[in-house]
A and B are shown apart, each in its own frame.
Chain A
């Protein structure tokens, strides 16, 4: 576990907070004093994963920097739903320029701060998957290559959602979008692997790369706070389900993200200087069908007849992640559980 896991206290570190936890074991989001970087009244859809992910990430960053964060946003839902002129939902200094240049603008802000010797103020660049893996990709790679002092966060909802769910370079195999229709011999998105930007970022050997989801709020907070301990280019890739674009129920946003991790489809890990240093193990391994079935973007895999081969291919991808990142601990979980009873009880009281 990358972040401090709290030994058995009913919900331990799995829930957001809890009265049984000591002050320093509580998440930023559990605090009545959290900064709410993205405040009330934003126009994100019901159950928006991106709005949730952005608040969690930026609140954690604000805590890590003592409230001295400047955010630079690419064009996309996050920008549009938060700032219909002249209103803003942002409770921190926030800039928006273009769809494709957020990493470059963020690098520029970092350069300006350096020129002013303000090393106390930190910069976060952020955008959707389209703005990051496609149109902003050259700027992002440049930012990595120059090792600019920016934490760049990609909120990945696996398509261009703001303009009506078009396919992006991050859209997974077989998913339906407005531009990858569920018809033909290979319905949905044809392409197999998309761009794995966390791995590409690692290839730049920048100080810190991590992935996270909105289903593990504490892990997301931890990754942001850890990232802020480094100087130079850092990259955080956060999976944020989109009820509208994925055809999932608004109340299931976190559930969908959780299943993405528990199937192995979205590996949660962190890497330093290009090497993976930890991966979050799967707690309850789940087959990909359970994940696919609750999203209408995959409905054509089950109707009119099940497309077993396509589903199997998705399952193989998940299995590959599990081996590649070691998502299932080798030692038998049952054996560990058998010894906990009295032993663990001692830990909780000490």
Chain B
């Protein structure tokens, strides 16, 4: 033995001491469901596309949106943003401006001419979509991507449904709508406008989901028939309430009025316009009236502002444009440029009750915005199809009682927004695809929600939201120019980077840097990390210091 004085053992490394045996709990990386994703009716993976957008990979981010929603430029304008209401960052400073980033990505795609490929091989199946609104177009887009041959039929002269005939131009410029619809048509969807569908059963092939057409007729219009139908004709019949009226009263409904805006002649409303109702359509009607030259647009609503179904942004923008509101008021009579209004009072259940107090309101015209009914004529009389409360009953897979006929959008139970319609279209496409394969569509189980309390917000920079430029009020009431502007690239990047990446690792290296035992292994860009269980003592610092709450402690098995 040739060792220095008093040394008897070779020098060893502490690596021989596997401290992992001390552990009673272990850290585990998890992916959780961010509240924005959870709230999105179209099922977008918002956290993921913001993450992709953060490093300037706009095209990847756009493609991530397109997986769920073919209308980023439209939705970046007209969506009521349930994601932002749910956003965790709102508890820190202000919600991430998800919608404005979406719009930026959507507009960027139109500028750059990005398109979506159809990668699936042709299935040999033909699907008919009735209705060219958001739901129908969304279904057609997703079905095409799955390899099916899709035909859309719509009674209208132009595509878009309520996006065209219900949403005013100042909220959705028509060139944007046209471009996003055209992108779907260019993928190979057959669009048949001015076509009213009748006798839907006769259009279905017998036997529903049988064998696909073989040989040269695969997917072709051999017999003019289809393997499945998706009906999404919407709810475009304006509801009329009975209002006693004299001969000279001018009363029209908001749906027709907004639809007429797309015709040759704008509707004649007069100088004082009363709009009856408290929903988004009422706001759209009042704002449109202002733009058509009405010096006064008065919304008459029987409850209070808090109880108005219209979204806050719409109410706010309407007020900014000089629309006035009469809360707690019902119209009891209309004649000769005068409306009789009865004051209401809310009872203890919040329901408005008449007070017997009357006033008069001068109005050249009364626009009724009291809700819309679904057009059910196409499905009436189809065996097995059931209706409740004016809407079509569908299974969880969106199929009606008649095999092969699916329905979605405003004509089935649910909230009536463009975003919900897009979500229905996507879901219907997946269910139809499964059904055509004699299968059932099963969604992957959702991750646990990522609550604000799981975040370590210390690590995020302070950064309030970026405000979108707005058209000044004077121009807003004289033109149909778009009211809300878009973000430019630098603002959009800033906004995307405000995202906290709730519940999903964004590779900030914190766990790797703060482990006192070097027990976190960095796997490299995009590969995230791994715990070295031979040495991890289970202290939990990585969990506590993870900004996005993407690690959790789980007990070791005894």
A binding-site residues for B, Cβ under 8 Å: 8-12, 14-20, 26-27, 29-30, 32, 36, 38-44, 46-49, 51-52, 55-56, 82, 84-89, 217, 243, 249-255, 258, 283-284, 337-338, 340-342, 344-346, 348-349
Contact = CB atoms under 8 A, between A and B. Distances in A.
Contact of A346 (B18, B490, B522): B490
A346 B539 CA distance: 41
B539 A47 contact: yes
Interface of B: 9-19, 22, 54-55, 458-467, 489-491, 493-494, 497-499, 501, 506-510, 512-519, 522, 524-525, 532, 534-535, 537-541, 543-545, 547, 553
A217 B461 CA distance: 16
A16 B545 CA distance: 10
Contacts of A82: 14
A73 B522 CA distance: 30
Contacts of B490: 342, 345-346, 348-349
A20 B14 contact: no
A255 to B, nearest CB: 6
Contacts of B538: 46
Contact of B513 (A9, A30, A42): A30
A86 B541 contact: no
A169 to B, nearest CB: 25
Contacts of B547: 11, 15
Contacts of A42: 14, 17, 19, 517
Contacts of B510: 15-17
Nearest 3 CB-CB pairs, A to B?
A17-B509, A16-B513, A251-B540
Given A253-B516, A284-B458, 12 more contacts: A17-B512, A29-B512, A32-B522, A32-B524, A40-B15, A46-B539, A48-B516, A84-B14, A89-B13, A251-B543, A340-B463, A349-B490
Contacts of A30: 509, 512-513
Contacts of B517: 40, 42, 44, 51
Nearest to A44: B516
B15 A41 contact: yes
A337 B465 CA distance: 10
A8 B494 contact: yes
Nearest to A7: B461
Given A18-B508, A86-B9, A342 B466 contact: yes
A251 B539 contact: yes
Contact of B13 (A41, A52, A243, A348): A41
A17 B513 contact: yes
A229 to B, nearest CB: 23
Contacts of B10: 86
Given A32-B522, A47-B541, A255-B544, A41 B19 contact: yes
A89 B494 CA distance: 43
Contacts of B458: 14, 258, 283-284
Contact of A40 (B14, B459, B494, B512): B14
A43 to B, nearest CB: 7
Contacts of B463: 8, 340, 344
23 contacts: A8-B494, A11-B508, A14-B459, A19-B506, A43-B14, A44-B517, A55-B516, A55-B518, A56-B513, A86-B9, A87-B12, A87-B16, A88-B11, A89-B13, A217-B514, A250-B541, A283-B458, A284-B458, A338-B464, A341-B464, A342-B490, A345-B466, A345-B491
Contacts of B499: 10
B361 to A, nearest CB: 42
Contacts of A341: 464-467, 491, 494
B544 A254 contact: yes
B544 A251 contact: yes
Contacts of B462: 337
B14 A52 contact: no
A282 to B, nearest CB: 12
Contact of A11 (B461, B519, B525, B553): B461
A46 B462 CA distance: 32
Contacts of A55: 516, 518
A42 B497 CA distance: 38
A41 B466 contact: no
A42 B12 CA distance: 12
Contacts of A29: 509, 512-513
Contacts of A345: 466, 490-491, 493-494
Contacts of B539: 46-48, 243, 250-251, 253
A92 B18 CA distance: 21
Contacts of A41: 13-19, 535
A44 B17 CA distance: 12
B175 to A, nearest CB: 26
Given A14-B458, A30-B512, A340-B463, A20 B54 contact: yes
A45 to B, nearest CB: 8
Contacts of B9: 85-86
Contacts of A10: 54, 460-461, 497-499, 501, 506
A341 B488 CA distance: 13
Given A18-B507, A87-B16, A88-B12, A217 B513 contact: yes
Contacts of B498: 10
Given A19-B507, A41-B535, A47 B540 contact: yes
A16 B461 contact: no
A52 B525 CA distance: 24
Contact of B516 (A8, A11, A51): A51
Contacts of A44: 516-517
Contacts of B464: 337-338, 340-341
Contacts of A340: 463-464
A249 B538 CA distance: 12
A15 B538 CA distance: 21
Nearest to B489: A349
A341 B458 CA distance: 20
Contacts of A217: 513-514
B545 A254 contact: yes
